[in-house]
Structure 1
């Protein structure tokens, strides 16, 4: 019984604890809903910090108006521009990502810049107006405040992009970055040397000589610790990048690294300024660019990581940075050989050294780009290498350019990638199988036009991870292969059209021969046979008077006339006899027999070869006959002109339109006849818009 009561009491305590836990969870959830939003969350803190920075910036403008110091005012303006830009970007991030602490860190970064700028201006303003407040505690604490400039960027390295450290152990780095600067500021406040910017201000922090020595030792010991914390924050980016597998987070980290890459560029600028001008002040421009680039790249990373191909930007930045470093190294070596003094003082020597550097570095540019791409931009390097390999294999005859699509799919690891080709005379993009390529209809589709000589000849489309900028580079590198595929497709299409046209002409020739045989057999041949029988009958009864020979001869003459007329009609079907007098007379005779008005315009000063005249005549007769039969036009216009080594035949009507060139139709046969003469036929026939049939035939003088 005692054991049972103990178990019952334990169960009651567990249920009571569970109820307490659930109540606490509901309280926390309600508090999170009520206080975790904009009112009491990170976003509200960022807004308050931004307002404080704006007030501090306004106070700095007031100090500049008092001090009237040009150089100090310029420094204040630069500091406030850098700081307020970071604050503005931080508020944007805090608004769009209220749960992320990165926005608040950007605001703190801007606050540090503005604070340092105002602090540097304050002594000049105090010298003009001694009534400005000044506390000895502020003077002492300001000695080590420079360390605060490094804390927000270091925290950004640790917390970008999600606002969390890469792992639990990295929390010690965050704690160190927050604690070490405070300890250093307190230790630096005990420095007994007077502050030269504030003469006459007594010390607020004092210590005995023994304690002072220990404090100085402690302060110096904090410097390498702080440096180690900064190095650790830089290493956290590498650790985070290796641990993450998401494409979005990797792109965000690359954007942040792109902004941070201005730090080594700043060092290169300092190096270049020292070599060329003898002063490292050139690095100031790089430092300003760095303090602008880091907040900007952080904002892009969090809000618009797919704005641009960050891999391409990183590759280009690294390539040019390495090229600049090599150039500076060559310049340093050349200047050392010539003589450092002569290199600085002689523009000729400096220019010669620069020319030598550029000449030495130019052949290495492509190799350097490939080296960087292989490590920072593997997708581009793989695609460009695959295209170059396919081009070489195509030249060697071991591959076909039509394999471009499959090669790019393998190189970019995107099975959905497609390559479209625009055949001459066509507006559609088709792949090698003849299927249309319409990438813009896909919601996540990206495409890049392939251009050659200013003309769009194809398209590369993908819906995978390839960016638009990468697709543009791939399209540019593939232009020659795409043009070869287009030419091969055009040639194959032309050969196919020639084969089909030849087959249709051969079939038409056979049908025409059978028609002639049938017409001769059923028409003229029958009449001539009947004529022969009548003449034989007249011969037999010429002397006995039983047959009316005169009437029989009259019938024979009539049959002979009918046979001759039929033979002329058959011969006219092969070639109109009216062409013997010229194309103009033949067309004039033809249009005069049309049932509707036809306007005829001829501009042919020189005689036209007989074969072209025959083709032109059939173009006009067929087009006009089709118009009258199918389109019910009210007028027809015929134009025949010869210029620039070609004969153009154009037939227009104002009928119902809708004519289409189909194999086996009248227009189809006409197209074959024109193609056989080496020309081309074009038919424009919008519905209810009339029809224009135009044949262009080569006609050498």
Structure 2
């Protein structure tokens, strides 16, 4: 076990012991205030959460000191609560050394802040940054902490109720000396806080994208440290005693810091940290404004109206809250420009491109270029999902892998491959949809043009084939038959010609010519379709050299639809037998609920069919497209091939 992980385990064990001591001391006390019980429950929850976070981080990052420091944060609430319970119990039941313990614990409140300061120095890698300045800050924290605790223990000032009867059994110093020592120590503590923040800032500037994202998440939690100190100052300034303001700050310190630290270490990419920062700053400013109004009205109202000013303060604060609600969006935009400039800049760039497109001065295809410039990501790519497609492709047709999805009406239409806030992707949805439809139209026009050319070439090729087959086959036989009959006519009287044999040969030649003409006609339209698509598929199954199962569902089809469906099945079966070495072929023809006919041919061959190689499937796709249908081919090495045609079948 690495030593940082061992320290985390020891600290967690010590926290468990302190929690058990708190519970045992509370149970043995004759009377404990409800406030202290609430404090005990809160301390146990906060300590358990932070300790669990620390152990989890130490388990996942054994050599990182961050896990140990998180368990150290979890130790502080139960420890402070144990001292408070010990002091309160000693009021009703004398306990040895109670006054000495109370005197030594007077300055332990600084422990709430020390682990966070150390985290600021060691986060996220668990190592102190190189250089003299971070080491001096570390030495300062480790020195100021025990000195301040010692100076606070030597303070002779009487304790606040209910401990005003406690004395000071340990030596003390004059009050003037204590103030002389304590004020510089507090100032030095503030300077160490600022210095730790500077160390974080330097680490942020020198870090990469991952470390920067981690530091942003951690910075959201660390805000609780100066925030708690500020709340303590406001608390004593306004009320002169402990109130809920201090507990809010301490809760944020003991719960927020561990949670966000663990999130930053383990899942920094879970959510958009810049957006979170903007929201926190916005609501923090609004809350601070309301607190300032309430404090100012309370102070002035107290001077003018006395104790009844609380109602006035609450009323005026509520009025200010109503006024601030419409200003929230404006405040959010201002904060975004400062704390979330990338998002703000990208949103503005997308909005400007939309205006230019509507005015006809730009093209929506410039979205990728605009996002690259706004997000400062030269390698960013925008992919579009064409209707009927299964993968995202850019405007050049190159596949785009992963990234931020662009959705419209809940369905994916595009993807942005590169760091891009979700709000920016949403803002560009209409532009992506426009480009997608333009690409689809361009692709359809290109396919129509290519299909037209292929159909024309196929028509010429088929005409030449028919001419050649007629010339070399039936025409030659009929010409030969005519010459033979003319020869028989000339020699009919002299008996030099075997007339019966000549007639037999003529009948044979005529039969052969008829068969060839039928074969040619069958190539134009199979004669088996005269009885319908079912008998044609049955004939196809009988002629297939492999097992072929077919099923036909639906009503009688129009002739052009039945012919195209037959050619889809015939060509797919021929390819499966000739190229895929299939042993089984299944043909299913049925009507869909939307008035279309679906022809599916599936084999168990070796796969690898490609409509772009060879003329068979390409010609089939053109034939289907000419009828207004769509042809899909699904195949893979060793996984068989599925040819699926969707044809309109309106009669």
Q: Which has the larger radius of gyration?
A: 1
Structure-1 residue corresponding to 2:565:
616
Number of residue pairs aligned between Structure 1 and Structure 2: 626
Rounded to whole Å, the distance in 1 between the matches of 2:108 and 2:217 is: 27
Structure-2 residue corresponding to 1:145:
107
Rounded to whole Å, the distance in 1 between the matches of 2:120 and 2:573 is: 82
Structure-1 residue corresponding to 2:523:
573
Cα 1:283–1:116, aligned 2, differ >3 Å: closer, same or farther? Answer: closer
**1:696 Cα deviation after fit:** 2.8
Structure-2 residue corresponding to 1:261:
223
1:322 maps onto 2:322 in alignment: no
TM-score (ref. length: structure 1): 0.69
**1:109 Cα deviation after fit:** 5.9
Structure-2 residue corresponding to 1:64:
26
Q: 2:5–2:63: 8 Å Cα contact kept in structure 1?
A: yes
**1:584 Cα deviation after fit:** 5.0
Please identify, of 280-289 and 349-358, the stretch whose mean Cα deviation from structure 2 is larger. 349-358
Equivalent residue for 1:124, pick from 88, 97, 117: 88
Q: 2:99–2:169: 8 Å Cα contact kept in structure 1?
A: yes
Rounded to whole Å, the distance in 2 between the matches of 1:642 and 1:426 is: 22
SS of equivalent residue, structure 1 residue 678: coil
1:514 maps onto 2:478 in alignment: no
1:378 maps onto 2:341 in alignment: yes
Rounded to whole Å, the distance in 2 between the matches of 1:250 and 1:634 is: 59
Superposed CA RMSD in Å reads 5.4
1:228 maps onto 2:192 in alignment: no
Q: Gaps (5+ residues) in structure 2? A: none
Cα 1:473–1:535, aligned 2, differ >3 Å: closer, same or farther? Answer: same
Rounded to whole Å, the distance in 2 between the matches of 1:399 and 1:117 is: 66
**1:678 Cα deviation after fit:** 1.5
Rounded to whole Å, the distance in 2 between the matches of 1:56 and 1:598 is: 78
Rounded to whole Å, the distance in 2 between the matches of 1:590 and 1:622 is: 11
User: What are the Cα deviations for residues 384-409 of structure 1, in whole angstroms up to 9, with x where unaligned?
Assistant: 44444444444444444444444444
**1:257 Cα deviation after fit:** 3.0
Equivalent residue for 2:255, pick from 288, 292, 310: 292
Rounded to whole Å, the distance in 2 between the matches of 1:395 and 1:122 is: 73
Cα 1:298–1:613, aligned 2, differ >3 Å: closer, same or farther? Answer: closer
Q: How does 1:411-450 map to 2 (within 5 A)?
A: 411-438=374-401, 447-450=403-406
User: What are the Cα deviations for residues 175-225 of structure 1, in whole angstroms up to 9, with x where unaligned?
Assistant: 994587357526632x47898526385876589xxxxxxx44444555654
Q: 1:85–1:292: 8 Å Cα contact kept in structure 2?
A: yes
**1:107 Cα deviation after fit:** 7.0
1:677 maps onto 2:636 in alignment: no
Equivalent residue for 1:360, pick from 323, 326, 329: 326
SS of equivalent residue, structure 1 residue 294: helix
Cα 1:151–1:424, aligned 2, differ >3 Å: closer, same or farther? Answer: closer
Rounded to whole Å, the distance in 1 between the matches of 2:617 and 2:147 is: 90
**1:166 Cα deviation after fit:** 4.1
Q: 2:347–2:427: 8 Å Cα contact kept in structure 1?
A: yes
Q: 1:603–1:641: 8 Å Cα contact kept in structure 2?
A: yes
Cα 1:700–1:157, aligned 2, differ >3 Å: closer, same or farther? Answer: closer
**1:700 Cα deviation after fit:** 0.9
**1:67 Cα deviation after fit:** 1.7
Q: 1:386–1:408: 8 Å Cα contact kept in structure 2?
A: yes
Q: 1:268–1:325: 8 Å Cα contact kept in structure 2?
A: no
Rounded to whole Å, the distance in 1 between the matches of 2:471 and 2:550 is: 38
Q: How does 1:195-594 map to 2 (within 5 A)?
A: 197=163, 199=165, 201=167, 215-220=174-179, 225-241=184-200, 243-244=202-203, 245-247=205-207, 253-262=215-224, 281=244, 284-297=247-260, 310-325=273-288, 344=311, 353=319, 356-357=322-323, 360-361=326-327, 364-365=328-329, 367-438=330-401, 447-462=403-418, 466=419, 472=422, 474-527=424-477, 529=479, 554=503, 558=507, 566-576=516-526, 579=529, 582-584=532-534
Q: 2:633–2:642: 8 Å Cα contact kept in structure 1?
A: yes
Cα 1:328–1:699, aligned 2, differ >3 Å: closer, same or farther? Answer: farther
User: What are the Cα deviations for residues 554-606 of structure 1, in whole angstroms up to 9, with x where unaligned?
Assistant: 58974667656655544443334565555556566666666778666544544
Please identify, of 292-301 and 166-175, the stretch whose mean Cα deviation from structure 2 is larger. 166-175
Q: 2:148–2:182: 8 Å Cα contact kept in structure 1?
A: no
SS of equivalent residue, structure 2 residue 148: helix
**1:509 Cα deviation after fit:** 0.2
**1:615 Cα deviation after fit:** 2.4
SS of equivalent residue, structure 1 residue 681: strand
Rounded to whole Å, the distance in 1 between the matches of 2:71 and 2:574 is: 82
1:74 maps onto 2:41 in alignment: no
**1:502 Cα deviation after fit:** 1.8
**1:507 Cα deviation after fit:** 0.8
TM-score (ref. length: structure 2): 0.73
Please identify, of 84-93 and 397-406, the stretch whose mean Cα deviation from structure 2 is larger. 84-93
